[in-house]
Amino acid sequence: MYNGSTLHFDGNEWIKFQRTCEISNTFTYEFWVKAEEEQILDEERNTGADGINGRKYLVGPDFYPAGAAGCGISVGTNGISVFEHSVNHLPARLVFAHDFSDWQHVAVVSDDKKLRLYINGAWVKGESMASNAERVIPSLGLGGHMYGTFKGQVREFRLWSSARSEEEIQDHMFSSLDGDEAGLYFYRDPSRSLAVIRGIKRSFTASVIMPSYNRCPSNYFSLLSLERQQFPLQQMEVIFLDDGSTDHTPVIYYSIYPEYTFIYVQQLKSRGRSKIRNIGASIAVGHALLFVDAEMICGPDYVMTHVGHHQSGERKIVSGAMRWRQIYTMTGPGYSPGQKAAMNALYAGHPIAAPIIERFIQGDQTPVQLLPFELMFDPGHLNRWSSKNDFFEIVLQTYGSRFKLFHYAWLNLITNNASMTKRFFDELGGFEEHFEGFGWEDWELGYRAARKGAIFIHDDAVINYHQEHPVSPSNAVHSRFNYLRFYEKNPQAIEIKLFVLTMVPDYVTLPVLNDYLTDYNNLETIYMNRFGSLRHYLHRTLDLLVDTLRHNDSVTLPLTRSASWQEEEATVYEDVASVKEIGAFPKLLEMFERVSKYYD
């Protein structure tokens, strides 16, 4: 979405940078704009509601009750219109036909409620009479509105708390700002980590990026947990991305009034996990990016601890996700029998949740909040009434929190709880956007980070709490296809191929997989020009295992020998015999014996 100070909009999204602006009547919008679609050009008037359809709102007109009106700006390839929005009131106060199909500089000046329009630094039109509203308030919803969305690009967007003169407009129109300019109310350039909010130049230590798709009210609880951080909230921004939700998620914007800077990104169609996180990262100006899923409740030290890791060193990736804990905060339809049983067992004896769950188990599917807020955000209570995810415990027990000698340390990048510096994220190029649905987009980014020298750190102090929810049956399918995309992107990488051994019926654990890879790498390094037949055999077998995933829900055995196997068999077993004589690669030989059994 952001590229430097340039915003790209495709007509299906908008960003709400602030709920309201404190300034009114006298202000100036300035920006460069390039539109891609025509709009309807209305007659100018002070009454009516012409602006409810067919408009291309670059600045969405906020609604205000009678006596006040929100200012909005619609831009199409054929012209620009300035609207004001109140009760049954959305007229175009100023309209000017102009070609915006290529970059043009625009300044919309409200001088004590009287509008002036400048294009490319020159005055082109003005009002003879001021607005009838008592207060005209600028809006900071960019890219669209429920009454219409903008398609095109805008750069160097500024809002000033003064009526800029023609000379002042010309002085700054070709230059970026430092953020210290007198009267500057809003400005943002993520490429320079620069933000001016409510007239104050801000420096953010942390940008929390929270994508959400149909996770209401879990996402509401997660946002509330961020309000309770033991961290200076003025140094933190939360970028909440509604990825085309069809539930009540949009209501959240009007339900919370946090002390941290809250940016709401509305997508009218789902972008997917990778794209939506990249959009959030492009908006962020914080030194550290903290990725948190919408159903994760964060303990009070969560942000502080993450940020502390990034005070020095650029290539750290920090997470507590390998020991995330599971809680239930809501009843409702869609839970599996296993989840219902887990919920019932977890809260057995709980004075508040247990009676609610009993009614739920008996058939009452009404969504009910299980925990009051004073308990939902109390770490002691959360630890007592949550269960531990043990999947990665063997990894942490074997290799420690810094993953010493673990080739798959990049598995620590799990996006329900991960942080890195914005600079490193940008260097990596963000998440791979060809992944669709659930799974692997975070590990693929972790893999690229490892190849760039990332240091992976697990920290128990940033463990957070996953609000369990009904699981889509399509997750397994998406995960399988995304693994295949990962494999296809790295077709020669033995470490990616080996991962298929965690998917066979007699699957191996991650430490065993790591041992296999260690022996393979050592053999290849020490005996670079030997054992080519054995290495080729292992690669081909792993490729065949992966290939079965293209056509089946799981790895299908047995495999069929190639037509050339009889010719190759002797040389493969000669290599195996020689490796046995060396006596230094037991895990490699174990892997050979394992995969050889997969053939018919």
Q: List, for residues 322-365, the tens digit of each pLDDT value.
A: 999 999 999 999 999 999 999 999 999 999 999 999 999 999 99
Q: Which fold has domain 208-325+389-467?
A: Spore Coat Polysaccharide Biosynthesis Protein SpsA; Chain A (3.90.550)
Q: Which fold has domain 2-190?
A: Jelly Rolls (2.60.120)
Please compute, for residue 44, the number of CA atoms within 13 A of its CA located in the half-sphere on the CB side. Answer: 15
8 A C-beta contact, residue 416 and residue 473: no
8 A C-beta contact, residue 181 and residue 164: no
Q: What is the pLDDT of residue 5?
A: 84
8 A C-beta contact, residue 325 and residue 387: yes
Q: What is the pLDDT of residue 66?
A: 86
8 A C-beta contact, residue 58 and residue 33: yes
For the chain, which residues score pLDDT lower than 50? none
Q: List, for residues 402-423, the tens digit of each pLDDT value.
A: 999 999 999 999 999 999 999 9
Q: Taking the complete model, does pTM exceed 0.85, yes or no?
A: yes
Those residues whose C-beta lies under 8 Å from the C-beta of residue 319, and which sit 6 or more positions away, are 412, 413, 414, 417, 418, 419, 456, 457, 458, 459, 462
Q: What is the pLDDT of residue 179?
A: 97
Strands of 182-329, DSSP E: 184-189, 194-197, 200-202, 206-212, 236-243, 261-267, 288-292, 296-297, 316-319, 325-327
Q: What is the pLDDT of residue 415?
A: 95
Q: What is the pLDDT of residue 4?
A: 79
CA dist., res. 504 & res. 507, Å (int): 5
Those residues whose C-beta lies under 8 Å from the C-beta of residue 436, and which sit 6 or more positions away, are 272, 478, 481, 482
Domain ranges for the chain: 2-190, 208-325+389-467, 491-596
Q: What is the pLDDT of residue 102?
A: 98
Main-chain phi, psi angles of 526, to 5 degrees? -75, -40
> How much of the chain is in helix, strand and coil states, percent to nearest 5?
35, 25, 40
Q: Could you tell me how many residues make up the chain? A: 600
The sign one gets for the Cα dihedral 87, 89, 93, 95 is positive
Main-chain phi, psi angles of 527, to 5 degrees? -115, 65
